């Protein structure tokens, strides 16, 4: 039986992790692309040797790739960012596909920050964008990661614009207010996805 695949995406600091956790509380499997990418740069994993070969061992810190050092490099250099993406993205999407095949739930959530940037919209059945105001993005990332505005701006520039994300969305969650408002939006979409998943599974039976 095929399950409905919802791609959760949005700009940095928009609250994707919070939204994903609210879906998870409702028993929805959440497959996180960032977590998979982090695992793949560990020693012995597929991306590790390829990244060292591409960028050199100056990224290493006690034998492990220093992700902050890597992040600073690729967000400051578009060519380096494309190299890193060419290494990690195929590995991540294959892992997402493989894990989704093992699920038995009505629908699942793929948390993929760069879903639109990688041109993989067709990888999912629906796109859910978490949106907020740009000023809120800056404030949240400053508090969460301790980055300065220049660093945050570089990250945002490397991502698709707010307008592009919203244009690609099938569904939008506005994370601009209180947690109660966020919970209500998640619950409404959860019920809608359950209904869609039922129709989807019936339609795809035997395919």
Q: Which residues contact 181 (CB under 8 A, 6 or more apart)?
A: 174
pLDDT of residue 71: 86
One domain, residues 52 and 88: yes
Contact 12, 155 (CB under 8 A): yes
| End-of-domain residue from the set 102, 135, 162 | 102
The per-residue DSSP string of 84-150 comes to HHHHHHHHHHHHHHHHHTT--SSEEEEE-TTTTTTT-GGGSSEEEEEE--HHHHHHHHHHHH---HH
10 beta partners: 130
Q: What is the CATH number of the domain that holds 110?
A: 3.40.50.300
One domain, residues 64 and 155: no
pLDDT digits (tens, 9 = 90+) for 129-146: 999 999 999 999 999 989
One domain, residues 25 and 40: no
pLDDT of residue 207: 44
Residue 192: name the closest of 2, 1, 6 by CA.
6
Q: Flag residues of the chain having pLDDT under 70.
A: 1, 201-207
One domain, residues 84 and 13: no
One domain, residues 116 and 195: yes
The per-residue DSSP string of 131-145 comes to E--HHHHHHHHHHHH
One domain, residues 121 and 203: yes
Domain count, the chain: 2
One domain, residues 112 and 195: yes
One domain, residues 24 and 39: no
pLDDT of residue 1: 58
pLDDT digits (tens, 9 = 90+) for 181-207: 999 999 999 999 999 998 876 656 544
Q: Report if pTM > 0.75.
A: yes
One domain, residues 166 and 146: yes
One domain, residues 49 and 144: no
| End-of-domain residue from the set 52, 82, 102 | 102
Q: What range does the domain containing 59 cover?
A: 34-102
One domain, residues 55 and 12: no
| End-of-domain residue from the set 63, 84, 102 | 102
| Dihedral sign for Cα atoms in the order 42, 47, 50, 51 | negative
One domain, residues 128 and 162: yes
């Amino acid at each position: 039986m095929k399950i409905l695949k919802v791609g959760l995406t949005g700009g940095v600091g928009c609250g994707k992790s919070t939204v994903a956790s609210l879906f998870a509380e409702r028993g929805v499997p959440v497959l996180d692309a960032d977590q998979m990418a982090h695992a793949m740069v560990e020693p012995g994993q597929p991306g590790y040797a390829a990244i060292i070969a591409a960028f050199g061992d100056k990224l290493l810190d006690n034998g492990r790739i220093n992700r902050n050092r890597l992040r600073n490099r690729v967000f400051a250099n578009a060519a380096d960012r494309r190299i890193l993406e060419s290494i990690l993205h195929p590995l991540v999407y294959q892992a997402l596909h493989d894990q989704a095949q093992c699920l038995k739930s009505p629908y699942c959530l793929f948390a993929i920050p760069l879903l639109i940037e990688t041109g993989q919209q067709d990888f999912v059945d629906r796109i859910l964008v978490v949106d907020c105001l740009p000023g809120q993005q800056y404030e949240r990332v400053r508090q969460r990661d301790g980055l300065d505005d220049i660093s945050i701006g570089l990250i945002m520039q490397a991502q698709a614009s707010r307008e592009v994300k919203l244009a690609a969305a099938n569904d939008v969650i506005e994370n601009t207010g209180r947690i109660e408002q966020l919970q209500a939006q998640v619950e409404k979409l959860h019920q809608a996805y359950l209904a869609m998943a039922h129709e989807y599974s019936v339609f795809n039976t035997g395919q």
